[in-house]
Structure 1
Amino acid sequence: MIALLMRDLRLAFRAGGGFGLGLAFFLILAVLVPLGIGPEPQTLARIAPGILWVGALLACLLSLDRIFALDFEDGSLDLLATAPVPLEGAVSMKALAHWLTTGLPLVLISPVLGLLLFLPGEAYLWLIVSLALGTPALSVIGTFGAALTVGLKRGGLLLSLLVLPLYIPTLVFGAEVVSRGAMGLAVDTPLALLAGITAGAVAILPFASAHVLRINLR
């Protein structure tokens, strides 16, 4: 399992499938929003939580089609399906590799981008916490979508259409945590719901993804 995780991490860095692409998109979005909306700090501070979460969501979406694509093309996916290692475990490792190369860098760089959007100081902790709790759900849900579309030519658009509706609850509660934190309000309810979504996705979707992969590989 660890060997599979390290292999996916090496492939992600060599192929440029997640790390640099997601960070570049996140940075570009944070730079373009003030240029398009205007430099007024009050306006940017009000929309910053939603913009940062939308940017993180779209950045995670960029590399989803690569989760299983390379393994499907070279036949490694068939070997994983017949290996002694449970396919559910392999799927979990691929979701973890996607989060480590996409979600975790977004969590780490988000305070810097918050400065560009004049995010209130009280919200920085909750921005980091919400992204750390929510981005794993984005990777696991994205892995399920990638499993559904594996082997399809030009399946990237279909993958986006399938995954985006499933991302909405994570986006809503994640942005709400940051917004409430910026206003000094209690964040217990949206934070608990966000954690519940991530816990449910991590507990259920690897099994669903493995089942879908077995069907697609028949």
Structure 2
Amino acid sequence: MLSAVFARELHIALRRPADALGGLLFFVLVAGLFPLAIGPDAALLRAIGPGVVWVAALLAVLISLHRLFEPDLADGNLEQWLLTPRPLMALVATKIAAHWCIACLPLVVVAPLLALQYGMSGDAAGMLVAALLLGTPTLVLIGALGAALTLGLRGHVLLALIVLPMSVPPLVFGCAAVSAGQQGLPAAPHLSLLGACLSLAAFLCPWASAAALRLALE
């Protein structure tokens, strides 16, 4: 059943490519417009590049979160999940994993091209990819909790208010890892902190999201 849920999410994304690629287009536009606005100052672009790319990735994840559980609430899938013998937490974790593959994996693939636009070296671009691979799952897990807590509410301002403060640690550690790679300093401590954030989010967020979904359906 878990593989069926994962395959269903991918099939829906293929049927609606505009929804799946909207976050990617937003990510590319936001990160690509900054060099045009700032000018050809190479040192300044290298300095702000990690922060701009990470903030663009955070916002791209944020604009896709409202589609995480709302379609399933509208068509009755969430009620069916409560009736299945599978734990709701496992189903939620599978849906979060599928959402990361759809919404965040393209961002990680495109990130090295944007790194070249900011004049980052090959090592810094590789560090950016590694940091995004560790940080974006954390952002999606936190976002899933926010989406579950605000399920059924009109507007998405409350979702942003919940998710953005909790997204600060992976944002800070991800930018610090890339900056350390640019300066030739060891980035392993920052990557370890990103891994710790991911482990904590993977342990808590699926369980908390499942609990929030149960409350929303009662």
TM class by shorter chain equals over 0.9
Consecutive unaligned residues of structure 2, counting only runs of 5 or more, are: none
* Equivalent residues in 2 for 1:200-215, closer than 5 Å: 200-215=200-215
Q: Secondary structure at the match of 2:107?
A: helix
- Per the alignment, residue 14 of structure 2 pairs with 13
Q: Secondary structure at the match of 2:65?
A: coil
Q: CA deviation at 1:17?
A: 6.4
- Per the alignment, residue 172 of structure 1 pairs with 172
- Per the alignment, residue 44 of structure 2 pairs with 43
Whole-Å separation in 2 of the counterparts to 1:39 and 1:30? 15
Whole-Å separation in 2 of the counterparts to 1:9 and 1:141? 21
Q: Secondary structure at the match of 1:63?
A: helix
1:161-218 Cα distance to aligned partner (Å, 9 max, x none): 1101111001000010000001000112111111000011011110111011111110
1:67-115 Cα distance to aligned partner (Å, 9 max, x none): 0000001111111122111110111011101110111111111001111
1:30-49 Cα distance to aligned partner (Å, 9 max, x none): 22101211121111011101
- Per the alignment, residue 30 of structure 2 pairs with 29
- Per the alignment, residue 127 of structure 2 pairs with 126
Q: How many residues align?
A: 217
The amino acid of 2:215's aligned partner reads I
* Equivalent residues in 2 for 1:72-111, closer than 5 Å: 72-111=73-112
User: Does residue 161 in structure 1 map to residue 161 in structure 2?
Assistant: yes
Whole-Å separation in 2 of the counterparts to 1:151 and 1:41? 46
The amino acid of 2:54's aligned partner reads W
- Per the alignment, residue 188 of structure 1 pairs with 188
Is the CA contact (8 Å cut-off) linking 2:116 and 2:125 kept in structure 1? no
Matched residues, percent identical?
A: 44
Q: CA deviation at 1:9?
A: 1.6
Q: CA deviation at 1:121?
A: 2.9
Whole-Å separation in 2 of the counterparts to 1:50 and 1:72? 35
Whole-Å separation in 1 of the counterparts to 2:149 and 2:19? 20
Q: Secondary structure at the match of 2:185?
A: coil
Indicate the RMSD between aligned Cα atoms, in angstroms. 1.2
Consecutive unaligned residues of structure 1, counting only runs of 5 or more, are: none
Whole-Å separation in 1 of the counterparts to 2:15 and 2:80? 22
Whole-Å separation in 1 of the counterparts to 2:6 and 2:101? 10
Whole-Å separation in 2 of the counterparts to 1:16 and 1:65? 16
Q: CA deviation at 1:18?
A: 4.9
Q: Secondary structure at the match of 1:84?
A: coil
Q: TM-score, normalised by structure 1?
A: 0.96
1:102-152 Cα distance to aligned partner (Å, 9 max, x none): 111111110011111212333011111100111111111111111001111
User: Does residue 66 in structure 1 map to residue 57 in structure 2?
Assistant: no
